[in-house]
Structure 1
Amino acid sequence: MTRALIIGGGVAGPATALALHKAGIEAAVYEAYPVGGDDVGAFLTIMNNGMDALAAVDAAEVVEAISFPATTVEFLNGTGQVLGRQHIAGQLETRHDPRTMRRSALYRALTEEARGRGIPVSNGKRLVDAVSEGDRIRAVFEDGTSEVGDVLVGADGIHSRVRSLIDPAAPEPRYTGLNILYGYTDDPTLPLSTDAYRMIQGKRAFFGYTTSPHGETFWFARLPGPELTRDRVAGLTVDGWRRRAAEYFIADATPSRRIIEATWGEIIGGNAYDVPSTPHWFRGAMVLVGDAAHAASPAAGQGASMALEDAVVLGKCLRDLPRDAAFEAYVRIRRERVERLVATSANDGATQDSGDEVLSEQLNDRQQSRAWLYAHHIEWAETVV
């Protein structure tokens, strides 16, 4: 094993490069967009298990430096009644706490860390094909250039080109029935939620927010409705998104509508998709990580964390085993866990439509039953067999 070509420069791509580099494998990252990606304006939380994966490749401190803690979650209904409040990981003892950050900051931090370790990262490299050359593989890019490696890693997201090259019959991403919005406002008159996420099940839609140490409110909304066309998404202005979102919370006695209406600078919106199961994660020299292999609805907040776990496990497998055996071990280790997460996240979305009494009971039980999710640990020194 001498060289890995990693397609995609979001979360999974640079993280896979860091893992492979630590494993002693040469890696290079190729990102389609000139800068960032199409979801670069959104924000995310890396959960306890995701931070653990970053620690395995010596990158946890890098991410901590560009993020802030949000360790508690508070559940409310549309009348403002508090249904439950607890630590995100419940009573579990975990090695790391969750961290919240903008995607753009995470992309930049992971990319800079990769470059700092001598890993080349190229932008404007959109993959169009991958051609086998004996045991090696050639990645062909839209700009007419190509690169040859021993492994091609598809870290190219939910609409993965590599997934379709591995299996032209692979399932398409499934629309979850939700439009998802992210916004930011620094209005000082808003109710703050420092070091906590307030999750509000309104009468028509779901809303969540937290406050950064600098007083900026990070919020998201999940709005049920038909799938929006690409042109429709591109054509909606900040004012259009704001008015659309605010309408869903008119009947609620919560801060949701007020926070939305106080947002003037930046709102990012689109459709939410998932990929419940991908039959083939690898073929020949090609293999998938992150959303390219599996994608959950946003309800569990685990997309980035699962991608980071994938990256580290793949790095370990390729370190310890020949390529074909490494891919088989990687899928064996990862498939059950990620597909369980996708099902859990879909169920969380359904739970949010339950009545208050049922919702309160389920939300309070939820965190305590998830040791398998939050307390997951990857031991880098452990050999894969």
Structure 2
Amino acid sequence: MSRTRTAIVVGGGIAGPVAALALRRAGIEATVHESHTGTADGIGGGLGVAPNGRAALGLVGLDRIGAPMNAIVLQNHKGRVIAEIRQPMQFSWRSDLYRRLYDLAREHDVQVHHGHRLVDVRESGTGIRAVFADGTTSEEADVLIGADGLRSTVRRLIDPAAPRPRYSGLLGFGARVDGAGLLLTGDRMYMAFGRRAFFGYQTFDDGTGVWFANLPHPYLTWKEVGQTSNEEWLRRLGEAFAQDSVPALDLLRRTRPEELITTGPMEDVPHVPQWHRGRMVLVGDSAHATSPSSGQGVSLAAESAVELARALRDLPHPEAFAAYEGCRRARVERVIAQAARTNSGKAAGPVGRVVRDALLPLFARLATPEKSAWQYDHRIRWDDPVAA
């Protein structure tokens, strides 16, 4: 069977451009098709990029990502430090990472098309054709890669019975803040288990800072979250942290309503039964959506995109898809399960809070670098051949 020479990448967020860049490095021509009519500049909150993710992004030419976030300091609602966990992460705004990847793709002559919403595919023995919603645009290639996120169209085309996202019970909010008097945190991200919600914050050398909150709440869609004004969400968040001795109220007061970032319901997909079918395959959140609490969403997406490109470089697509899934599934599902346990602690009740705060110091002592090496020390050996 002939090798893969061309690919259609559906989704122009983070995983899509990384996949296209990795494919280009593997000698495969890739085009990216994004459903939104414009770019995602200025959209999205903050995120962490782990060492394994930085290494994967480095393989497609991206270096120097964000600001250092070398430790997580856990506090209880009284502001008392209950644990500190060393984690060599980098903090980045999603919009900054997106823009750098977008520009890098253009520099490498990767075509990015906007306003192309995938609705169907036509597969043959020689290729696959993507059919887009406007009815006038289509494209054919050897393979089609779904990098279209949590509610992936490609996932549904591969398996109409694929599971839907699972809600963690938490809504996400955040903002960028600046100004005199910010509490200095250095290279540490502080995370506080409040009485009614979870709060994280960090300040940087340039005088700016970031905060985020996870608010336990009955499920709301993105649209339903948007039906409540930012002023009202800030008020509700203020109520949630009113009895906590952490800087939440100060940072909320510094946030103008128009600056509030709503990241919506925090969801994951614990297990996607089918990652590929025929000439279609999934990467990133389409295949393994993890809750933001993992701190590994972007990193795992980058890893998978690079591993898929390696496999398609060395093997015909059926064997390549199987080899790619075989080297990725156990790893990503372990991270998803770990993040789900973290979410359960964020939404703990009064009794659960006491147990959690008592056990966290023990967990922190056990969280040695050796215990977390399986996550952070993972590296992709690009030059090694991929075996079927």
Deviations 1:299-324 (A, max 9, x none): 12111110000011001100111110
Contact 2:56 2:379 in 1 (8 A): yes
- Are 2:135 and 1:132 aligned? no
2:15 pairs with 12, 15, 21, which one? 12
Contact 2:72 2:189 in 1 (8 A): yes
1:349 pairs with 326, 343, 346, which one? 343
Q: Which amino acid aligns with 2:152?
A: S
Structure 1: unaligned runs, 5 residues or longer: 90-97
CA gap 1:172/1:38 in 2 versus in 1, 3 angstroms:
farther
Q: State the distance in 1 between where 2:86 and 2:290 align.
A: 22
1:33 pairs with 23, 36, 43, which one? 36
Contact 1:295 1:342 in 2 (8 A): yes
Deviations 1:19-50 (A, max 9, x none): 10100000011111123459923121111110
* Post-superposition offset of 1:296: 1.3
Bigger Cα displacement from structure 2, 177-186 vs 128-137: 128-137
CA gap 1:363/1:201 in 2 versus in 1, 3 angstroms:
farther
**TM-score normalized with structure 1 length:** 0.93
Alignment partner of 2:91: what SS?
strand
Contact 2:266 2:291 in 1 (8 A): yes
Structure 2: unaligned runs, 5 residues or longer: 349-354
Q: Which amino acid aligns with 2:11?
A: G
CA gap 1:261/1:173 in 2 versus in 1, 3 angstroms:
same
* Post-superposition offset of 1:283: 0.4
* Post-superposition offset of 1:168: 0.1
2:95 pairs with 97, 101, 104, which one? 104
Q: State the distance in 2 between where 1:10 and 1:194 align.
A: 30
Q: Which amino acid aligns with 1:376?
A: H
1:257 pairs with 228, 235, 249, which one? 249
2:372 pairs with 370, 373, 383, which one? 370
Contact 1:9 1:107 in 2 (8 A): no
Give 1:267's aligned residue.
260
Q: State the distance in 2 between where 1:274 and 1:38 align.
A: 24
Q: State the distance in 2 between where 1:314 and 1:15 align.
A: 11
Alignment partner of 2:61: what SS?
coil
* Alpha-carbon RMSD: 1.6
- Are 2:308 and 1:314 aligned? yes
Sequence identity percentage: 44
Q: State the distance in 2 between where 1:214 and 1:189 align.
A: 13
Deviations 1:118-173 (A, max 9, x none): 11111111111111132311111112211111110000000000000000000011
Q: State the distance in 2 between where 1:187 and 1:252 align.
A: 23
Q: Which amino acid aligns with 2:239?
A: E
Alignment partner of 2:244: what SS?
coil
Bigger Cα displacement from structure 2, 337-346 vs 259-268: 259-268
Alignment partner of 1:293: what SS?
helix
Q: Which amino acid aligns with 1:68?
A: A
- Are 2:153 and 1:152 aligned? no
* Post-superposition offset of 1:345: 0.7
Q: State the distance in 1 between where 2:167 and 2:50 align.
A: 24
Alignment partner of 2:7: what SS?
strand
Q: Which amino acid aligns with 1:304?
A: V
**TM-score normalized with structure 2 length:** 0.92
Alignment partner of 1:236: what SS?
coil
Q: Which amino acid aligns with 1:3?
A: T
User: 1:219-234 maps to which residues of 2 (within 5 A)?
Assistant: 219-234=211-226
* Post-superposition offset of 1:360: 2.1
1:60 pairs with 52, 59, 63, which one? 63
Bigger Cα displacement from structure 2, 238-247 vs 4-13: 238-247
What is the aligned residue count?
373
